[in-house]
Amino acid sequence: MVPHQYRRTRYSGVTPGFGWVIAACDRTSCSLVDMDAERLTDERSERDRFLREHYSSPLPEEHLKSFPGLDYFPPDISWSVVGDYEAVDPHDVQIPSTAGMDNPYSKVGSLTVRIGGTTYKLTVLDDGDGDMFVPFRDGTSGVETYEGGRYLSVNVASDAQVKVDFNSARNPWCVYDEEFICPLPPAENWIQERIPAGEKMYLPHS
């Protein structure tokens, strides 16, 4: 699932997920971090198909016919990293939004990752339907990617070492249509380093 994102005029609904990109490791999988290239290709194709064909697509109708598919950074195994997930008792926190106001989201855990020599403890939120996600910004935000950051889905229920694949980072719906109101990353989820992986900024084709 993706986080609840609202049109200013009506509720947008919740759309299907596109693969899990933060997942608990088994006994061996975190000893050598890998990137499932086939899974990533399928995930990206499915996302393009959803945006082009699904009735809940956030793309404005005038963009559908010319939609060529999303633009991504090339897959890069170095952005499939290992982190540590720590569950917390769910509690509401105020999260900024593209509407300029804070909204309550349930914090369900923290994800600790080390990037470029810096350790980050990222807030993990419930998306409103019981699934989890991490909104984050990085050094590409506002340059190569959306200035408001991107999202990663999480699939882990308790404290665990996890694989974090930034190749699956995706844009919120407000990138495609500014009528949507989307949650933005809290300050602790701002990563200073560039993460050239995942979805780039969407530029509509005429």
What confidence tens digit (pLDDT) does each residue in 138-194 have?
999 999 999 999 999 888 867 888 889 999 999 999 999 988 999 999 999 999 999
Amino acid 159: pLDDT: 82
Q: What pLDDT sits at residue 124?
A: 96
The mean of the pLDDT values for the chain is: 85
pTM for the model: 0.83
Write down the pLDDT at residue 18.
44
pLDDT at 185: 98
Model confidence over 6-61: pLDDT tens digits?
A: 444 322 323 334 444 566 665 445 544 456 788 888 999 999 999 999 988 999 88
The residue count for the chain: 206
For range 87-101, the mean pLDDT: 95
The pLDDT assigned to 158 comes to: 75
What is the structure's pLDDT at 134? 96
pLDDT for residue 14 = 33
Q: Please state the rounded mean pLDDT for residues 60-76.
A: 90
Q: What is the pLDDT of residues 98-148, one digit of tens each?
A: 999 999 999 999 999 999 999 999 999 998 888 899 999 999 999 999 999
**CA-closest candidate to residue 58, choices 200, 201, 178:** 178
Token reading at 156: 């882990």
In one letter, which amino acid is 196? Answer: P
Q: How far apart are CA 6 and CA 41, in angstroms?
A: 28
* Cβ burial, residue 51 (10 Å; 0-12/13-18/19+): buried
